[in-house]
Amino acid sequence: MRGSYQPVPSTNLEHENTIPTASSSHTLLMNQHFDDSLPDSNNNSIDTSTTPPTEPPSYEFDIEDPRNDIHKRTHLQRVSIGFQEKILEPLMENIIHPFFQISKFIQDKADYYLSKIGNPFILRRFFYIILMSFVAYYVLSSGYLLNEKASGSKGMFSQHDILFEYAKKSVDLAKFERDLEYISSMPHGSGTKGDSAITRYIQDSFDNNGLKLVREMGYLVYSNYPGNVSISYYDNENEKHDLKLSTENFNPLSSNGKLSKVSLIYAGKGTTNDLQNLKDSKTIEDGKDYVLLLQYDKLVSQQVLLAEKFGAKAVIFISEPYGENIDVVQSKPVGLPQYSTGDASTLNRFGSVVEEKDLEFWRLAHIPTIPISRRQGQELLSRLSSGGITVDGGNNDHIHSGKMGDVLVDLDLQTNVREKHFVPNVVGKIEGREQSDKAIIIAASRNSINFGTTYPNFGTAALLSIVQLFQEVKYKFGWKPLRNIYFISFGGSEFNYAGSSELVEQRLTPLKDEIYSLIDISQLGIPPSEKYENGKTGGKLSIETHPLLKKFFRNRNAHLNFDISVDNVHHYGDWTPFLANGIPVSVISSDSTRNRITPSETSEDKFELVEKMLESEQNQQTVKNLLLYLLHISMELIDDPLLHFDIINYVEDIDERLQRLEQAYPEKLNFTSVIKGLLFWKKIGNEWTSWTQGWENIVWSHGDGIEPSLLSINRWTWNKKLTNIGRRTCSPAGIPNRSFYKNILFGPTLIQEDRSKNGEDVDFWTFPGVMDAIYDDDWKRAQEQIDLIGKVLHQSAALFVEETNDIGYK
């Protein structure tokens, strides 16, 4: 500020206290200097001298000269003044003041016109209420606020119908097809370059969809790959003929070996009955070398076990044709999961000692096995004589077995063996928001020594699409499941399910604590669309699951058009090590893929086949419905407040299978202890049913999804106890002679052949220890296993009742 002092002019007495002015805009207070002696009141003389004082007058408030002040201001003051001069003052002058003037003008006009109707003060508030009502309606209906429809929730829990409707619009069939095409673009056997490329692709897909904790978990396992293979046979004139073989003539985990001029014997499907008939007829004899020529059966590993048991030196498998193509070769794995799944070169590390008799048949075939085409099989069969016996080759074909010396074969198999080869799993995770120490796994096998479009690539592509659908729902609604979800692409499936087995083996305790269900979708395909008796037209799905979940799957098909059959688990897969340790598993499959109908496991299993199928709009809709069904069941398993474990159905299912066993082998076994254990569990089941009804009445019927905190703690406790049911039906010692399998209620029988007299179908995946003993005709051991089951059922039920304070949830 600029200012200059002006001396006070001479004044008369009446203006004695006049305040001088400065040229600045500020009014300053000054004290004028007077003599110490005050004038007498009667003295009229006043000093009118105008001579300025020798020193400037003093001021009550110090005024700094602005010209000097500019150098004394701090940096902050300069910024403040600049902000005021350059921003605030222009803003006030150019925007705010004009705005208020316009606003005042509009308000005056409005009041003018409103005054013609009534009191402007009252009318203004009336129109304001109407305007705000319209604004509120628009905001609420648009979904900008997190109401039930926009948030996909009701109270404290998700509304799956809303999430599911959004997912219907989000299914990206083009992405599914792109994923399937890329995964099917190259062979990708475990540990190969093709597998490395597919593994990176899956890992990138997990990352791009925002999964947390995406990682590759690798293991060093025994592996073998196609190498040198040859088969020659000699005709009646001793002339040698070579079969034209290639890298397709390969069974993963087959043993290497070389044989020269060994007799060839046809044995149908190589069942115990077939081989025993050959032995009884002296067609095969102990001490004499022979090679078995077999048709593929459903359980190839069992064929190898029986061939070894009866003394065969090698097995040649005849492949099924693919339509009219009889030159395709099915490359089926021949590992031995009957004793254990996992790395064929290591011993069991599941916490129990491996018995010596276990090692006799340890995971790996001990004889060479070679698959050939149907054409090559017919060539060999044509050389056999009518000697021997007639064998049922399937499809009502009765073929002569031939006899020793009819046809001699040379066989040489030298696969490329890697004792320790890297096989990875790919794991991704969606974290839960409530019971974050509990989880399910959604998994698919990844590897195929061929292109593998129908198996296992279809399941892998479905896994990637499910991940995307979950993330679409998550980003749209801010949704998080109540519990964790793991997505796993298992490697090493053709090597006796090495990837899944090594994961369980190394992380057994954490997995048993956290995982309460595994859903495997490796065997999915496009189910043929036809009209079934129940009116469904979307195709047939087979679900193999734990009895605790059977009712859940039977009741979850009302909204989709699939014909669904639900049964116990009854075949091997990447889920087997989980099942062996009491973790409930569910296997969702299409019949053609589960049964490996050609072109599955052949070089003709290419993307073009499925691409042509997807040109049909009906098949496109079937795939969409399939993906939505997977999303729906997995979402309910992971995000419903109460676990869908039905104890009553669990008891009824075991009781039904117990009755079948008693009918198959009457008056052989005493089931009293098992019945007592089941009655104990039935009582618990009734209590669980009653509690769930009360919870639903409080939370859903009267609480609009709001759960009292004390009720939450009770629910967490029930859920925790339910997840322990499966793991507590295990015996630490495992099944006799097969210590890998701890689950004494559900698991595979060693040899799955019916020894009963009634000819009915026998369940080979319930009470495995009992069934093994019955197969060996050891009824004492069978009764011991029955008593063990009764004891475990009773102990697990008692622990369930006692466990009331294990509620450590975040």
Give yes or no: residues 617 and 689 share one domain.
no
Give yes or no: residues 449 and 478 share one domain.
yes
Per-residue pLDDT at 89 exceeds 90: no
Give yes or no: residues 506 and 529 share one domain.
yes
Average pLDDT over residues 628-651: 96
- Is residue 277 assigned to a domain? yes
- Is residue 68 assigned to a domain? no
Give yes or no: residues 773 and 625 share one domain.
no
- Is residue 67 assigned to a domain? no
Higher pLDDT, 769 or 52: 769
Q: List b or e across 565-602, with b for residues whose CB sees 16 or more CB atoms inside 10 angstroms.
A: ebeebebbbbbbbbbbbbbbbbbbbbbbbbebbbbbbb
Give residue 658's domain range.
650-802
Final residue of a structural domain among 646, 678, 711: 646
What count of other Cβ atoms lies within 10 Å of the Cβ of residue 549?
A: 24
Provide the pLDDT confidence category of residue 17 given band limits of 50, 70 and 90: very low
Per-residue pLDDT at 12 exceeds 90: no
Provide the pLDDT confidence category of residue 16 given band limits of 50, 70 and 90: very low
- Is residue 637 assigned to a domain? yes
Per-residue model confidence as pLDDT tens digits over 119-161: 877 877 888 888 888 887 776 555 455 444 445 556 578 888 8
Final residue of a structural domain among 351, 385, 418: 418
Closest CA to 402 of 423, 382, 373: 382
Phi, psi of 438 (to 5 degrees): -125, 145
Per-residue pLDDT at 291 exceeds 90: yes
**Segment among 74-78, 598-602, 711-715 with least mean pLDDT:** 74-78
Measured over the CA atoms of residue 452, residue 453, residue 457 and residue 459, the dihedral's sign is negative
CATH number, residue 608: 3.40.630.10
**Segment among 482-496, 554-568, 604-618, 779-793 with least mean pLDDT:** 554-568
Per-residue model confidence as pLDDT tens digits over 527-582: 887 665 655 667 889 999 999 999 999 987 655 778 899 999 999 999 999 999 99
Average pLDDT over residues 1-22: 40
Higher pLDDT, 562 or 773: 773
Provide the pLDDT confidence category of residue 28 given band limits of 50, 70 and 90: very low
Number of domain units in the chain: 3
Per-residue pLDDT at 95 exceeds 90: no
Per-residue pLDDT at 43 exceeds 70: no
pLDDT for the residue numbered 352: 41
Average pLDDT over residues 713-718: 94
Per-residue pLDDT at 484 exceeds 90: yes
Give yes or no: residues 478 and 614 share one domain.
yes
Q: What is the DSSP string of 688-733?
A: HHHHHHHHHIIIIITTTT---HHHHHHHHHHHHHHHTTTGGGB-TT
Final residue of a structural domain among 620, 646, 672: 646
> Could you tell me the pTM of the whole model?
0.81
Per-residue pLDDT at 471 exceeds 70: yes
- Is residue 178 assigned to a domain? yes
Give yes or no: residues 615 and 739 share one domain.
no
Per-residue pLDDT at 268 exceeds 70: yes
Per-residue pLDDT at 803 exceeds 50: yes
Average pLDDT over residues 364-375: 95
List all residues 6 or more positions away from 734 whose beta carbon is below 8 Å from its beta carbon.
350, 352, 740, 741, 742
CATH number, residue 370: 3.50.30.30
List all residues 6 or more positions away from 244 whose beta carbon is below 8 Å from its beta carbon.
376
Check: CB of residue 481 under 8 Å from CB of residue 433: yes
- Is residue 115 assigned to a domain? no
- Is residue 321 assigned to a domain? yes
Higher pLDDT, 241 or 35: 241
Per-residue pLDDT at 724 exceeds 50: yes
Per-residue pLDDT at 219 exceeds 80: yes
Give yes or no: residues 380 and 432 share one domain.
no
- Residue the block writes with tokens 């009781």: 655
- Is residue 91 assigned to a domain? no
Per-residue pLDDT at 367 exceeds 60: yes
What count of other Cβ atoms lies within 10 Å of the Cβ of residue 373?
A: 25
Average pLDDT over residues 766-790: 97
Give yes or no: residues 487 and 624 share one domain.
yes
Give yes or no: residues 545 and 461 share one domain.
yes
CA distance 692 to 450: 49
Give yes or no: residues 669 and 735 share one domain.
yes
Backbone Cα Rg of the chain: 42
Q: What is the mean pLDDT of the chain?
A: 86
pLDDT for the residue numbered 760: 60
Per-residue pLDDT at 385 exceeds 60: yes
Give yes or no: residues 642 and 662 share one domain.
no
Higher pLDDT, 702 or 108: 108
Check: CB of residue 727 under 8 Å from CB of residue 585: no
Per-residue pLDDT at 230 exceeds 50: yes
Give yes or no: residues 230 and 208 share one domain.
no
